[in-house]
A and B are shown apart, each in its own frame.
Chain A
Amino acid sequence: MSALHIAIIVPFLLALIVPLLYNKIPKVHTGWFVLILPTILFAYLISFIPTLSAGEVVVRKLAWVPSLGINFDIHLDGLSLLFGLLITGIGALVVLYSIFYLTKKGEALHNFYFYLLMFMGAMLGVVLSGNLMVMYVFWELTSLSSSLLIGYWHHREKSRYGAQKSMLITVTGGFAMLAGFALLYVMTGTFTITEIITQADVVAASNLFIPAMLLILMGAFTKSAQFPFHIWLPDAMEAPTPVSAYLHSATMVKMGIYLVARLSPVFSGAPEWFWIVSGVGLFTLLWGSFNAVRQTDLKSILAYSTISQLGMLMSMLGVGSAAAYYGYEAGYTAATVAAIFHLINHSTFKGSLFMVAGIIDHETGTRDIRKLGGLMTFMPITFTISIIGAFSMAGIYPFNGFLSKEMFLDTMLNATEIADFNMQTFGILFPVVAWVASVFTFIYCMILVFKPFTGKYQPEKLDKKPHEAPIGMLIPPIILASLVVLFGFFPNILSDSIIEPAVQAIYPASLTGVENFDIHISAWHGIDYSPLHMTIGIIIIGTLMYLTLSKWQKVYQYLRLHQKDPVNYVYDFLLEKLVVVAAKITNIQITGLLRDYFVYMYVFLLGLTFYTMYRFDAFAIDTTNVAPIPLYVWFVVAVVAAAVIAVPFINNRVVAIISVGFVGFLVSLFYVLFRAPDLALTQLLVETVTTALFLLCFYHLPELRKENFKPSFKWVNVIISVGVGALVTVMALSALSFGNKKPFESISQYYIDNAHDLGGGDNIVNVILVDFRGLDTMLEILVLGIAALGVVTLIKLRMSGKEDV
């Protein structure tokens, strides 16, 4: 076990101690103890940067279930490191923020930090795992802890709804992903990611390529809130704001992005991958940005904006996969670079914006933009942070969002030049959709900044008198906002250390052979640079549309989008119908009537057996080896049959008892005829006792009435009964004739030969019962004893004062 393994496990261990700290040291906010860990982990992960910049990959092996190829292997490359730094870095800031956000009184802090640490460990596990199965385990742990965090205020109904929804959707996707991993294993024979990548050509040639790809993408799309699985994310906003900032903007929702990037070397180059990833990404981008504009809750705007930005990242990865098809030409590889750069930028500005929303909520008591206004004078620092974050998201110079948006538009313009994948026909959609979505992005960013902070101050609508947040709550967003500005002015400080190893991790082949693959993000490309013109267009059109917002916002009502996302109707409908239909099926099937269950069983038995016999042509009658029938046997058989057939028609209990008893006595006569004296004796005794027992109970037994079934029931009963009789007869006859065809020696000759010498008795049946097969007899005695105890208990035992059952 290496230090990296311990880094993954430590959060879980600390999570175990958290409740103890909470109880034993109530004076100190538990968050302070938690804060230490992500800080240390962040510093520890930073120490790997020099190694990875040199192009090395850190691998640590640890056997877990080696026989199944499931090992807790660590594979730390540029991509993992980038995510690891995001998780620990933003984790530390979020913990610091939460210390001031959640008060010591009235909050179940031990629960909160327990879940949060569990989440952190799981996330580190996902990004550092080199083995798909281990990755899946951690992946599901993130779903679980995320649900727990969404439902943190579990007394609220909306929280529970959101938690359930996110759980159902992400776990469904996770399960599909597991199936996809299993298919990858079938194709390559290994779960180790690096080994799968080396066999990418095997995967590409396989029939299972498309199913595996779709299943794995299903996992990625549900986790990363891509259309139509995005609906859980807005409902996840019921979580405490630090959780929203951490999980639902910066880290967990990027797991899908991570998965797509991680498995790009395996799947990219295929047109299906290109179209699904970039198509879904672009549509999500448009849908998210379009819907964000109509929201009135700050966190809902941010949720849809996250959806939209995730779609943007996804589409860039999709276009980047064209690079693999064209042998890693620099023009297309740039799309991947843009994706990685925007990933970092998004984490910084979105994290800070969520924290700002939390501050506004915390200091005014509401997040509804219709109630907020004119907060600029009360909260100047928050306002500044929010301007930096929102302008960066909108793509305005000089913040980092500007650079990544330029790269994004450039990517989309380049995509039109792809000559394959039908891009001649549909390629023009890429820049158009990107541009329209960017306009909407611009509009909601403006709403985010100007609605709460400018305009009219409405104190009567607010519960509290607004004031600036405590300094501890401001530090994390200030740090993030500083990073936004820093990356905006000096975009290249990350390119060698982080972005280049990450791109190399996604497309290992892209950098081999290229001597100076030097990623250089340039802020200024000259006046003729077409993305710049697009950006100017976005700003102009966006500003005009923002100013005329009230006029055209009615369009949402015409489109019937003003209440909830239409996909939610589908989800709610399905969930409701699932319960209703399941209840219906249960009510039809589970009637509570013994007869019905027997009908199911008999129908199945008859169908299965007759079909099997028909299928293998097993009907046969063979008259060889059949003993001759003496005349008196005909007579006895006729009498027994008559007595048996009479039983259902008898409506008198004494007659019924006697008739059944009569059958029993005649059966013992059969035993006499077939030379079985012991059987005859036993049957005679047992039948006598049974009949006596029936007659003893006689007075207490219910009166027999005529059966009055529905006519349809009656006929079903008759058909089934005749069918069962026929089945037994046909099977017995077939068995007899097949036994004649392939006769084998019975073991009974052994008993006959040895009963005297070994068993010391001449009655072979009795010797078998007590000597050769004595165990049966012992257990049979036990059965009889238990039955006797049961009888006694049933008669004697009465629950005093309780229900008598």
Chain B
Amino acid sequence: MEILIVVLIGVLFSVATYLILTKSLFRVVLGTVLISHGAHLLILTMGGLGGESAPLLGEDASSYTDPLPQALILTAIVISFGMTALLLVMTYRTYKVHQTDDLDKLRGRSDE
């Protein structure tokens, strides 16, 4: 299973990279959202996908899935959420001020 998920993560990273390289600011933000999904899944996969039960002691299972990557991902999700929100509002603001989200046109001032 790990191999399949790792390949899926590769696809996520590929598409996210492609989006980051585009000229539309909005697509760049979408790219960051996808790349964080990829990163989170990667952390989970690298921790191992085996284990019988969710990390809840009440389950009384013989083996639990690794709780540490889950804690790490939980932190990462929240942080990437904050980042996404901020980036989105920045896109919004850039668009309001400059009336474009084309990065090709957002290249500093002419008098620089």
Contacts and interface: CB of A to CB of B under 8 A. Distances in A.
A784 B85 CA distance: 10
Contacts of B86: 787, 790-791, 794
A717 B71 contact: no
Interface string B69-90: 0110111011101111110111
Contacts of A625: 48, 50
Nearest to B94: A702
Interface in A613-641: 621, 623, 625-629, 633-634, 637, 640-641
Contact of A647 (B8, B28, B30, B40): B30
Contacts of A720: 17, 21
Given A627-B50, A645-B11, A736-B46, A717 B56 contact: no
A678 B54 CA distance: 10
A174 interface: no
The binding surface of chain A is classed by DSSP as helix
Contact of B17 (A628, A725, A764, A805): A725
Interface string B60-75: 0000111110110111
Interface residues of A, number: 96
A717 B90 contact: no
A747 interface: yes
A53 B77 CA distance: 83
A499 B39 CA distance: 78
The binding surface of chain B is classed by DSSP as helix
Contacts of A667: 37, 40-41
B67 A748 contact: yes
B93 to A, nearest CB: 5
A704 B53 contact: no
A602 B83 CA distance: 21
A598 interface: yes
Contacts of A637: 4-5, 8
B46 A676 contact: no
Interface string B34-46: 1001101110111
B112 to A, nearest CB: 9
Nearest to A626: B2
A663 B21 contact: no
Given A663-B34, A725-B13, A733-B6, A595 B103 contact: yes
B81 A689 contact: yes
Given A602-B17, A648-B19, A768-B71, A675 B54 contact: yes
Interface string A581-596: 0000000000111110
Nearest to B78: A780
Contacts of A769: 71, 74-75
B91 to A, nearest CB: 7
A674 B65 contact: yes
A773 B74 CA distance: 12
A724 B13 contact: yes
A613 to B, nearest CB: 15
Given A663-B37, A675-B65, A795-B89, A682 B10 contact: no
A599 B75 CA distance: 29
Nearest to A690: B84
A784 B83 CA distance: 8
Contacts of B57: 752, 755-756, 762-764
B2 A594 contact: no
Contacts of A626: 1-3
A728 B9 contact: yes
Given A640-B8, A679-B70, 5 more contacts: A700-B95, A707-B24, A727-B13, A763-B55, A776-B71
A-B pairs, top 7 by smallest CB distance, nearest first, are A725-B14, A787-B82, A729-B10, A592-B107, A721-B18, A702-B101, A762-B57
11 contacts: A594-B28, A602-B17, A644-B12, A647-B15, A647-B19, A648-B19, A690-B84, A693-B84, A721-B14, A721-B21, A755-B57
Interface of B: 1-15, 17-28, 30, 33-34, 37-38, 40-42, 44-46, 48-51, 53-58, 64-68, 70-71, 73-75, 77-79, 81-86, 88-93, 95-97, 100-101, 103-104, 107-108
